[in-house]
Amino acid sequence: MIKFDATQLVDMLRLQNTLNVNIAGPLWRDKRYEWHRAAWVECGELLDHIGWKWWKSHTPDLAQAQLEVVDIWHFCLSYALEATHAQLGTDDPYVVADSIRNDMVLAETSLTYGYKAQVTIHGEARALLNLVELLVAQCTNDQQVSPAITLELAEALGLDADNMYKLYLGKNLINIFRQEYGYKTGQYHKTWGGQEDNEVLIDIMKAHPDWTSTLIYEELRVRYGRPVPAANAS
């Protein structure tokens, strides 16, 4: 499974907390949001990008499937931040990072999470679908979002630590962009000229391999082509 270095993991935890504060306020941890439900809904969208319907032709969209697993990772980080706050009474991202790493170490002792072992038995396509369903089962049965299964799934979709980290940063930018342009109030338009905003993000990242956060954000503004709602304008 994917293993981030300490800097990457702590950075993502800090960014996730910032986004959650922007959306729900500084006490978001106390609101007990159903992160597990958000994660399994994303799993359904991921399955659609992979393709699972044997009765119709489908071309897998790997780029969008990878973005879906990054969305699940957002909810996984949020769950870890909330759970550590509730259990240990701390918001220290280093402590949360240690908790995530401990989950991954425990998972490595179980073949249940072994995608490669599943491939040997079922083949790549079925093994990938089984891995998604394993995450769904964990979300629905335990009402948790497993870092280990999420990162095993991300690796199965062709991601490594560095490109998943970069995808997370990009997706975090579009989540901030959505909030700025009225996502929470229903003013935001998710389809831009026939493309979903996630597809626009992928296009921008492909066109600018050495992108910076500022470049991505400014390009999103240009592509969206709408003014910031008055309530969100600075």
pLDDT in tens, 153-162: 999 899 999 9
Confidence at residue 228, expressed as pLDDT on a 0 to 100 scale: 86
Could you tell me if residue 119 is inside a domain? Answer: yes
Could you tell me if residue 1 is inside a domain? Answer: no
Is pTM beyond 0.75? Reply is: yes
Q: Quick: pLDDT tens for 194-219.
A: 899 988 998 998 898 888 888 888 99
Could you tell me if residue 42 is inside a domain? Answer: yes
pLDDT band at 220 (very low <50, low <70, confident <90, very high): very high
Write the secondary structure of the chain as one string of H (helix), E (strand) and C (coil): CCCCCHHHHHHHHHHHHHHHHHHHCCCHHHHCCCHHHHHHHHHHHHHHHHCCCCCCCCCCCHHHHHHHHHHHHHHHHHHHHHHHHHHHCCCCHHHHHHHHHHHHHHHCCCHHHCHHHHHHHHCHHHHHHHHHHHHHHHHHHHCCCCHHHHHHHHHHCCCCHHHHHHHHHHHHHHHHHHHHCCCCCCCCCCEECCEEHHHHHHHHHHHCCCCCHHHHHHHHHHHHCCCCCCCCCC
What whole-number percentage of the chain has pLDDT above 70? 92
Distance CA 234, CA 228 (A): 9
Q: Say which residue the tokens 């990008």 belong to.
A: 49
- CATH assignment at residue 24: 1.10.4010.10
Q: Are 168 and 12 in contact (CB under 8 A)?
A: yes
Domain span including residue 19: 6-224
Could you tell me if residue 87 is inside a domain? Answer: yes
Residue scoring higher pLDDT (127 or 151): 151
At 16, the amino acid letter reads Q
**Domain tally, the chain:** 1
Confidence at residue 30, expressed as pLDDT on a 0 to 100 scale: 92
Q: Quick: pLDDT tens for 112-144.
A: 556 665 654 555 778 888 889 989 998 999 999
Q: What is the mean pLDDT of the chain?
A: 88
Q: Quick: pLDDT tens for 9-42.
A: 999 999 999 999 988 999 999 999 999 999 999 9
Could you tell me if residue 28 is inside a domain? Answer: yes
Q: What token pair was written down for 16?
A: 């996730």
Could you tell me if residue 158 is inside a domain? Answer: yes
Confidence at residue 233, expressed as pLDDT on a 0 to 100 scale: 64
